[in-house]
Amino acid sequence: MRSLIDRQNAATKCCILTSDLSREITPRLVQALRQLPVVDFVIEVGRRVFAIEVKAATRWSESDLSGLRAFLERTPACVAAVLAYNGKEAVKLDERLFAIPMGHLIQ
């Protein structure tokens, strides 16, 4: 798996993980990424996409989900969006939206 990171624009704080080793970082790809709502990580496996937003807090609010909700709405290939936080409870918030403690994700 390779990481594609847009280092040219500090406002784009998104890391893309892809299993497609032939994919190049082209100006067109960077422009397409800038059009998407900002989330912390986008993981691409084949044609499936996963979005992850990381929060250090032990609690989350509806406003913490806004980028994930927008990403899901604008990215049909996104099969799951996860808010990773420092709490203790995993919650299914919608069909493809979850809040999951970071400890569950890194075990």
Please tell me the predicted confidence (pLDDT) of residue 65: 95
Q: pLDDT averaged over consecutive 10-residue blocks of the chain (107 residues)?
A: 40 48 59 71 87 94 93 91 96 97 89
Please tell me the predicted confidence (pLDDT) of residue 13: 45
Cβ neighbours, 10 Å, residue 3: 10
The domain ranges of the chain are: 2-105
Contact yes or no for 30/24 (Cβ under 8 A): no
Please tell me the predicted confidence (pLDDT) of residue 44: 85
Please tell me the predicted confidence (pLDDT) of residue 12: 40
Residue 46 backbone dihedrals phi, psi, to 5 degrees: 65, -125
